[in-house]
Every structure is written in C-alpha cells, then in structure tokens.
Structure 1
Amino acid sequence: MANRFDFQGLNAKAPYFEGWYVKSSDAKQDFTLSLIPGIALFDEEECFVQYNLFYKGKSLSGKITYPIEAFEVVEAPYSILMPLFVLSETGVKAHLVDDGNDMLIDLEFGDFLRLKQDIYSPSIMGPFEYVKMPCSHDVVSMRHDVKGRVVINGETVKIDAGTGYMEKDRGANFPSQYVWAQSNQFKENNRSSLFLSVADIDLKINHFTGTIAVFHDGMKEHRFATYLGSKAEVMVNDDQLGYTVKLTDINKSLIAEVSLLNGNNLIAPMNDEMDYTIKETIKADITLMFKEKNKKTIHLTSEHGAAERVNWK
C-alpha cells in the first residue's frame, strides 16, 4: 500500500493544494505546536509553512510564504524541503522568522501509529480514495513519540516525552462546512488517540454529509465512516464556543464534546484561492465517551486537543 506521508501532487494542475498537519504536544509543559507545510496552485502559486503555538497561556500563529520553486521533495530519507524547513517521517527541523517571532525547531519522531490499510480502504477515505474528491484526507500517524527542542523568541522548551500526530489534505478546496477534532493527550489513558471530521461533501452529482473518524484505545483501531454505514450528528453550542459530535454504527458509538476556546487564525484553500481565514485551537478541551457493544463505556478527557468548526450552524 502507498505511504500516506508521501507527496502526491507531482503532476498536479491548478486548482490544487496539498499540505501536512504536524502536531507535537507536551502536556506536562502545557506546550503544543502545529506546523502546516504545503503548496497551493491557484491563480497565485506558492509554497508555505503555517504555525500555531500554545505555551503556558501564550499563543502565536502565522503563515510564511515562499515561491513555488522553493518547494522540493527528496529521497533517502523521503523529505519535504522549503527554505530553512525540512520535514520527514523521522522529524522536523526548521527556523521560522515571521512578524517579530523567531522559532527554532528541532524535533525527532518515534515510530508512527498508522491506520490499517487494505484494498477497500487504502486510506481513511476508504473507497472514496478512488474517487476524485474536492478534498482528500490522510491520517499519517495517530500517535508517535516526540523529543527535541523548540526555541521561541530566545526561550528554550526541551521536549523529552512529547506526543505527535500527523495528517494530510489534498485536492482543490476544503469543504465549505465542517467540524474537525483531534487529541492523543488523554488524562485517563495516555495511549489513546482520537481523530474525527464531519463535513459537507459536494460531488456535483451527489451532495451529502460525510464523516471519517478513528478512536484508537491504545490496543485497537475503532473506525467510523460514511462508507462503513456510520451516522453522524453535530450539535453546536448556543454560545458558539464548542460543539458535540455523536457517531454511531451497528456495534459502537462515540460522543465527543469539543471546546473552541483559544483559537488562532490560519489560512485554508477555499473557493479556488489560498486566502480563507479559519480559526483553529490547539488548546481544546475534549470529553470523549466510547461504547462498544457488550463492553464498558470508555470515558476520556483532554485539555490539549485541536479543533476547528467552519460554517457549521
């Protein structure tokens, strides 16, 4: 099966984007950093690195843009390169200078916890992987160890026992409406991981609400998806500061209550341009309840989740 980390846009034509979402957290130090390197082929072509940082109550975010010619893919080891930026499956090294912020990043990744793959589901998209979608998603690693250091405007944060997550998106546009949440920093079980997304999918000939989600309990992968018959319900809080997602299928259910506090601006591909502002929090409270048929309910809580809600009423 294909490596879900690898760049897939070598022969892509506009409109097209492809980006990695690389998150590293250390709950004991109240530290989370997400990096989004990628390319955008629209009327204007560019490559970029976006960053979103939360550390001890302080947050930074921004986007650094480079000419498309600065984007490079190399082998041995397979790596994504931009000026002063290198990402591979073994880690990330970068020096980001943006709007008065100076960030030096040197992080090493452990073995990836990958999703199961087969012919029917070569990725989290299942059989939709074989269909040209407005936005295709990959989960590269549900969980991996992280160690190294990040220097933020002269202050060094040493990471000895961090936790990482990585996913990818590619296509022409993000969904016009969606919710997304992720965490692998649960207090009650530090080996559990969650990813979920519910989105409005427009295939021109068909329009539907699609869901993809994985809860990994540390031993076993539990997947919810439209292509598996799962149903999704999204309820936005009256104050608009959070939402609840309920996922069900014949044998299991998952309820996730998600906060949207501490959000920072990021830029997303929408309407054939790379200029749509969304808010993402990487300091989300997430409460999770997972129930499998004839088994005890699992209750988990996290203060270090990531979450977005775009145009979902």
Structure 2
Amino acid sequence: FDVMPQPLQFHHVTAFTLVVLCYQLLDVRMVFQPHMWHGVEQRTGPYFEGWYFKVVSSDRQNVLAVINGVSIAPKGSEQDSHAFVFATINGGETQYYRYPVSEYSATRNPNWLQYKMGPNVFGEYDMQLNLVPKDGDDASLSISGTLQFSHLVRWPIQWHSPGPMGYFGWFSFLQCYHHVVSMDHDVEGSITVGKDKIDFNGGKGYTDKDWGTRFPTDWIWLQSNHFEDSPGSSLFFSLARVPFHFTTIPGFTCGFFFEPDQRIYRFATYNQARIQTLDLEGGLMRIVMNNKRYQLELEVQRSSEYAYLYGPRHGQMVKHIPETLKASVHVTLWDLDSGKAIFSGESSPAGLEVVEEQAGGLEWLKRKLRVVSSDALRQAV
C-alpha cells in the first residue's frame, strides 16, 4: 500500500496566510503537486528541472542513479537549452545523454506523473531506459531496461507544509526548490549497462526532484533506505546555504521514515528543529538534530569513491557535483520525554553529497547554525 499525503490541515493558518500574501504566490495547484512538471510554460532561462532516481539491488551490490530533466539557457544562449538524462552505476563515470527540448513531454494529470524524453519514459511507478550515445553526448555506454516501482512512501502534503520545504514551498522568489517524490519503494526489473545485465528484482528505490534557476553554493545531501534492522525504513537529509531576498540563511530538512510506526519523523528549519552538532572533518561525519520531542543522531561513514554529477551553474549544466553511492549511515532516534531510543541501526549503501563551492561555505553553515562540536559536548558531559 502507498503511504499517501495527509489531508490538508487548516489550523494555524491565519498568521501564515498573512506572511504569504506579502509575496507573489506560486501557482497554487503546483504548490500542492510538487512532484509534477513545473516548467511547462518556461521559455526563457536560466531554469532547470530534474528528477533523481536511485535504485539499489536486493543484495546491495549494485546502485544505479538516474537523473533526467531540462536545462533552459539564458537569453542569448538559447542554443544551449536541452533535455538530458545522465546516469552512474556504482559510482562509476557519469554518462550524459542530450536531447532537444522538443523531445520532452510530460502529463498534467495530478494523479499520475509520467514524462517522456526521446525513447525514454519516466514516472512515479516506472522507468524505461533506452539510452544510446550520440554525437555531442558525454557518454560511452548504452543503458536499457525497465524498472517497476510499488508501495511508494510519500512525503505528506499539507496546507501549511506542502512538502519537505515546509511553508518555504509557497514562496515564488527562491532560487531552488526540492521535493521528495518517494522516500522508499519496492523495485522490480533489470537494467543492461553495456553488456552487463543487472538484476534489481526485490530492490529498493528513492525518488526526488529539484527545480529553479540555480543550486545553492554549499550543501550536504544524504539518503539511504537499506536499514538492516528495519527493512522499509528510510532517511533523507539536506542542509544548504539558501539565498533569501537580500540575505542568506542556513536551511535544513530531514525525514526519517520509521516503517514500524508508518511515520516520517521530521526535523527542519520550518518546524523549529535545530542542528546541535555538525562535524565534517575526516572520514566520519556526525550530525545531531532535535525538535521539542525527538532527537536524531546521524553518523556517516564517507567514501573516497565518488562520481561527478552534472548540475546547473550560470544557466548551464556543468559536471561539478561529487556524489558517492557507497557511504553508510548509523541512525539513532531518541524520545526526549522518556530518554529511550526508538530506533538504532545502520544503513548502506547511502548516497552522499558534500559540496562547498564558496570558500568557507560549510564553516559558515556551522557558525550560523551555532552548532556545538562533538568534543565540546563530551567535555560538557
């Protein structure tokens, strides 16, 4: 069964509505349908929109990441506008395939997301690949096959919090928007990469998307859904340096879907959660965050094996984002009222991006968050 979005909640709306009315509102339909294609009428750039599919085989030996979307170049560089699909298998060299924007089409049915790019078809419930390198592509491998997705775990869509960005999802002036299409789902099918056929039957998947004019300059992204002690549980974490009108703020959102509870435990800037600890030095990364009721501890084992992904930069798609698909994360969720651990377990393989395009950007995030190092916490204890 699908974990469907919760019904719209209309309490605590008055003050929020006054704030929203101070800004130009986005298309209300799209606010409540963040998984859909937002750039239908987009003719001038810079603009990008892309969907990220991550699938892991049942034995956890193979991880495939497929990103597809469109890049609309700024005025004067219209010839650079294109649709794209790029993929990496097990963190290997990224394969990038270009298509004319005219070969991209998407449905407007709010109950069924599906879009086509050349001979490739993508949707909430399936992915059909027929990728063959052409002149102008940054690719050397053919990739083909069909995957089916079921039992999607969706992020709740609520009036005051339409997705993982919370009330920030209402504002039309942000440079980048993010949505989790599915925290976790079952995967069936196989993919052929070159001459190798990879079996994904019984595997696990995750899907998210981004759209806007540019990525943040500095961010951390983490995702995993192969917990040994709790199959079906899933983790998503994102922290970024977010331009906000005439200033810049640190923004984060984290969701831990604990399968036994059928619940996403949420920690985010918009629900008064705080990051207490952010240690990034060395191969072990530690993040501790809490809200009024719960505390979530993440210990991430980083990997030296990563691929460079394409991402928007100055209106172009540029190969500049280091992502590993071979990290691991240990998660501990605490109930602060009882002092007891609700869950403690490890998940691998995990996807991880740690990006610092602006010198000192990650240190800036730590200062603004007023985090306390693990050493300081231990000394205090």
Query: What TM-score range do you get, normalising by the shorter chain?
Result: over 0.9
Percent identity among equivalent residues? 26
- Out of 57, 63, 68, the residue aligned to residue 101 of structure 2 is 68
Higher strand share: 1
| Residue among 219, 228, 234 paired with 2:271 | 228
Aligned pair 1:6/2:49, yes or no?
no
Residue 109 in structure 1 maps to residue 149 in structure 2: yes
User: What residue is the counterpart of 1:135 in the other structure?
Assistant: 176
Residues of 2 paired with 1:107 and 1:209: CA distance? 37
Relative distance call for 1:207 and 1:93 in structure 2 (3 A) is same
**AA in 1 matched with 2:280:** V
State TM-score, norm by structure 2: 0.77
Amino acid across the alignment from 2:346: T
CA contact (8 A) 1:270 1:276 kept: no
DSSP 3-state at the match of 2:59: helix
Match of 1:161 in 2: 202
Residues in 2 aligned to 1:271 and 1:235: alpha-carbon distance in whole angstroms:
30
Question: Out of 52, 60, 74, which is 2:88 matched to?
Answer: 52
Moved more, 194-203 or 156-165: 156-165
* Residue 115 (structure 2) pairs with residue 80 (structure 1): yes
Q: Structure 2, unaligned stretches of length 5 or more? A: 1-7, 9-31, 75-79, 134-138, 357-361, 364-381
- Partners of 1:127 and 1:78 in 2: CA distance: 23
Deviation at 1:94, TM superposition (A): 0.6
Change (3 A) 1:115 1:40: same
TM-score, normalised relative to structure 1: 0.92
Give the residue type in structure 1 aligned to 2:36: D
Q: How does 1:258-273 map to 2 (within 5 A)?
A: 258=300, 259-273=302-316
Matched, 1:30 2:61: yes
Q: Please tell me whether residue 204 in structure 1 is matched to residue 245 in structure 2.
A: yes
Q: State the AA in 2 paired with 1:110.
A: S
Equivalent in the alignment of 1:216: 257
| Cα distance in 2 between the residues matched to 1:73 and 1:116 | 23
Q: Distance in 1 between matches of 2:274 and 2:158?
A: 22
Displacement of 1:113 in angstroms is: 0.6
* Structure 1 residue runs without a partner (length 5+): none
Give structure 1 regions of 4+ aligned residues with deviation exceeding 6 angstroms.
Answer: none
CA contact (8 A) 1:25 1:163 kept: yes
1:55-81 CA-to-partner distances (Å, cap 9, x unmatched) read: xxx734221112222211146754211
Q: Do residues 18 (structure 1) and 18 (structure 2) align? A: no
SS of aligned partner of 2:153:
coil
Which moves more between the two structures, 115-124 or 91-100? 91-100
Equivalent residue for 1:172? Answer: 213
Distance 1:256 1:236 in 2: 12
1:174 Cα deviation from its structure 2 partner: 0.7
- Over aligned residues, Cα RMSD in angstroms? 1.8
Q: In the alignment, residue 237 of structure 1 is paired with which amino acid? A: E
1:248 aligns with 2:315: no
Aligned-pair CA distance for 1:14? 1.2
Compared CA separation, residues 308 and 29, structure 1 to 2 (3 A)? closer
1: CA distance, partners of 2:230 / 2:47: 39
